[in-house]
Amino acid sequence: MNNRLRALRAELGWSQQVLAEKLEVSRQSVNAIETGRYDPSLPLAFKIARLFGKPIEKIFIDND
């Protein structure tokens, strides 16, 4: 699943570490999600959506 996490993070000038701390996950998790190597669980996806103030479908793009 593709996502706009890196772009949204860049807009706010946050590093992966800063975003990881705000989400209470490891920087490796943020990196894995951004690069599409890991799709987050629904609770984490909601947390990301709340943090950026956007609906989930504006951050995570369903390829199907």
**E strand intervals along the chain:** 2-3, 60-61
Taking the complex as a whole, the smallest distance from the CB of residue 30 to other proteins amounts, in Å, to: 9
Spell out, one character per residue from 12 to 51, where the chain touches other proteins: x when CB under 8 A holds, - when not.
---xxx------xxxxxx-xxxxx-xx-xx--x-------
For other proteins, the closer CB: 31 or 56: 31
- Alpha-carbon 13 to chain mean position: 14
Q: What spatial distance separates the first Cα and last Cα of the chain, rounded to whole Å?
A: 9
Count of beta carbons in the 10 Å neighbourhood of residue 30: 26
With binding defined as CB under 8 A, does residue 3 bind other proteins?
Answer: no
Give the binding site for other proteins (CB under 8 A): 6, 15-17, 24-29, 31-35, 37-38, 40-41, 44
